[in-house]
Homo-oligomer: A and B are copies of this chain.
Amino acid sequence: MQIDHGAPPPELPAVDDFMINPGKSDINGPTAAASPVEEFLKRLYQDCRQLNDGAVATYIPELAKANPDWFGICLVTCTGSVYEIGDSQQPFTIQSISKPFVYGMALEDEGRAKVLEKVGVEPTGDAFNSISLDPGTGRPRNPMINAGAIATAGLIAGKSPATRLKRIMETFSTYAGRDLSLDNEVYGSESETGHRNRAIGYMLRNFGILTENPTPTVELYFEQCSISVTCRDLGIMAATLANRGVNPVTGKQALRGEYVESVLSVMGSCGMYDYAGEWIYRIGMPAKSGVAGGVIAVLPGHVGIGVFSPRLDSRGNSVRGIAVCNELSRHLDLHMFNRPSVGKSALRLKTSAAELNSSRVRTSQESAVLREFGDNIQIYRLQGNLVFATAEHIVRTVMEHMSKLEFLLLDFKQVLTINESACRLFCQLLLTLRSLGKEILFVRAVPHPLLRRYLKAKLGSMFDTAYRSFEDNDLALEWCEDRLLESRSAALLSDWTVEREAYEAFRGFNSSEIAEAASLLERRNFPPGEVLVNIGDKADHLYLLARGRVSVVLPRENGERKRLATMSAGMAFGELALLDRAPRSAMIVADTEVACDLLSLEAIAGLRARHPGIVIKLLENLALGLCGMLRKATRELAVLD
């Protein structure tokens, strides 16, 4: 193993140099509507273009034809942003950068254990073309050296050499998001001069690492190295590895997520030949280079990088490629060991039914109970990526607020991903809560099927009763509120019939006023599901609910209905449009068998002249109802804001 003493190559500033430097602006001046990332890449491209050290590879004659000045950079995020500059669309051959991708295919084809039997995962500290077989067994040390890559190529499934090549081409094309092709000139040149690799093939055959005639496998290796790519392709391929195997531009899976860590691990420990330790120290990303001048680097979960510049240093790595990766790592803070804590980032909101309630409009008696005991219904809104560290923070917070807890609502609406360790914590939490007689509700968790699958597998026969799943957070909260109210003996009015003197709108009326008002009411009955009021209807009645429940809803584009409020017997509705005389802005639907008393605008106009005192009391009662709703909305805004 060669150690480079001169610390960093002279063209790369030491890492310590990177400080905010007011004297030197590396921020570009304004360019109309150019993206900030493009501006940064432009500057980086100009800077690194100055580097003219190194030489184009000549050991494969066809490679020597490359223009040494070609230079492209492509940066791709896991959300699918592609930034490219320079000769980012110039084709060249992928060469050794094919190794990790073919290794991923071997893992999918044969599984980890079988692959590890044939190829190790220890760095050699040797140069790229070293043979590095284990003296006893002939197992190549790792899949990033040629011997290991040829052994890996031998693991690719397929009946014929043509089928195997076709599979490789298809997989690489999925990584790149476009149909790739072979550069036949380079392949011919590789094949013609690849005697050392043929020797390796026969050594592998000798040790039984390859079990058949090595020639087709060595040819397959030459072919995989001769696949023609661009710098843009490399950036997207790298981002696919950063994005757990899913191409972030096309959304297609190129590698099963569980194998991504293995591919990145061999890149991390063996990807840059004898530069591995310093590469991780300085750049801090798994990477792979190829002798045609390509380099990829991957920050998992963040970005993939592709660089292309054919001039190589003595280790066979692209000079500008290394410089660009170094600058990107420093300026964009991409070192994999320089990461902020994620723990608190997944708890979006923690509140309770004392502060936030369902759209069910409650009576003042019910509201008082919810105000007093609402803390027993705890609402956790989760977000982002649920992994061990973020789920632990949530679960611990729940455990710290256990004493009052009766109902736990976990709302997954804003969750992006959930992994198995997070499922494990929620499963154990469910068991603990149930053993204490507490309920746990999984709300809007359906888009994360792993959670349900995990709980079903672990809970067995208990699953059906223990797993409470709600697709609507409002209904989940109402369900908890109803149970809390029942257990606190608060009368639930939903199924009662209310006498007219008990109407909230008639509060403060004396008996003759009630009789007068009652004489103007028109009783109507509606079956469940009936629409009482439609959007755009003329607002000509105030509704007083005598029996059952109605909901104010807005139709959504997807055909569902968003509930704005649900009223029970005794309450009034339809008053807003009555006040501003605007057409109805929402639908009102009967949730149950409903009996209503309608008070028409004309009747109110008549009362105005004959019994203004009744109208005043009616308006005061309606305004009071509005006050209550406004106070609830203001309280909830404060919680959510």
Contacts and interface: CB of A to CB of B under 8 A. Distances in A.
Interface of A: 1, 3, 5, 7, 14-16, 20-22, 25, 27-37, 39-40, 77-79, 81, 111-113, 116-117, 120-125, 134, 136-137, 139, 141-142, 242-244, 248, 257-258, 260-262, 264-266, 268-270, 274, 276-278, 280-281, 284, 286, 299-303, 331-345, 348, 383-385, 387-389, 392-393, 395-396, 399, 402, 416-417, 419-421, 424-429, 431-432, 434-436, 453-454, 456-458, 460, 562, 564, 576, 579-580, 608, 612-613, 615-616, 619-620, 622-624, 626-627, 629-631, 633-634, 636-638, 640-641
A333 to B, nearest CB: 4
Given A383-B345, A428-B36, A269 B265 contact: no
Contact of A341 (B14, B301, B562): B301
A39 B242 CA distance: 33
A416 B340 contact: yes
| Interface core residue of A342, A579, A638 (most chain B CB under 10 Å) | A342
B336 A300 contact: yes
A244 B392 contact: no
26 contacts: A1-B124, A3-B122, A5-B117, A16-B113, A20-B420, A27-B424, A31-B435, A78-B341, A79-B396, A121-B281, A123-B276, A244-B340, A262-B281, A299-B389, A301-B339, A301-B340, A301-B341, A301-B342, A301-B389, A302-B387, A340-B387, A345-B385, A384-B384, A608-B616, A630-B630, A633-B637
A435 B25 CA distance: 17
A20 B389 contact: no
B301 A281 contact: no
Contact of A629 (B39, B393, B630): B630
A36 B3 contact: no
Contacts of A389: 77-79, 299, 301-303
Contacts of A332: 388, 421, 424
Given A260-B337, A432-B33, A619-B620, A77 B393 contact: yes
Nearest to A267: B337
Given A134-B5, A431-B30, A281 B269 contact: yes
A246 to B, nearest CB: 9
Most buried by B among A244, A284, A341: A341
A37 B392 contact: yes
A631 B633 CA distance: 10
Contacts of A264: 337
Contacts of A392: 37, 77, 79, 81
Contacts of A331: 421, 424
A626 B630 contact: yes
Given A37-B395, A389-B78, A420-B333, A14 B278 contact: no
A81 B396 contact: yes
Given A7-B117, A40-B425, A608-B616, 19 more contacts: A1-B141, A3-B139, A16-B112, A27-B424, A34-B432, A35-B395, A35-B396, A79-B343, A244-B341, A270-B277, A299-B389, A301-B341, A302-B387, A334-B388, A345-B345, A562-B638, A579-B620, A633-B633, A633-B634
A124 B276 CA distance: 11
Contacts of A336: 300, 336
- Copies held by the complex: 2
Q: By DSSP majority rule, is chain A's interface helix, strand, loop, or mixed? A: helix
B340 A419 contact: yes
Most buried by B among A112, A276, A338, A425: A338
Contact of A277 (B123, B300, B634): B123
B79 A393 contact: yes
Contacts of A613: 608, 612
A295 to B, nearest CB: 18
A480 to B, nearest CB: 17
Nearest to A36: B428
A476 to B, nearest CB: 13
A624 B579 contact: yes
Nearest to A418: B340
A434 B36 CA distance: 13
Given A27-B427, A39-B428, A345-B416, A122 B276 contact: yes
Contact of A637 (B78, B124, B637): B637
Contacts of A28: 428, 431
A419 B137 contact: no
| Nearest 6 pairs of A and B residues by beta carbon | A30-B435, A36-B428, A612-B612, A79-B343, A78-B341, A633-B633
A612 to B, nearest CB: 3
B284 A277 contact: no
Given A33-B402, A435-B32, A633-B634, A116 B277 contact: no
A302 B388 contact: yes
A137 B5 contact: yes
Contacts of A416: 340-341, 344-345
B387 A457 contact: no
B301 A284 contact: no
Contact of A627 (B260, B278, B612, B626): B626
Nearest to A428: B36
Nearest to A300: B339
A555 to B, nearest CB: 14
A416 to B, nearest CB: 6
B5 A580 contact: no
A123 to B, nearest CB: 5
A416 B3 CA distance: 40
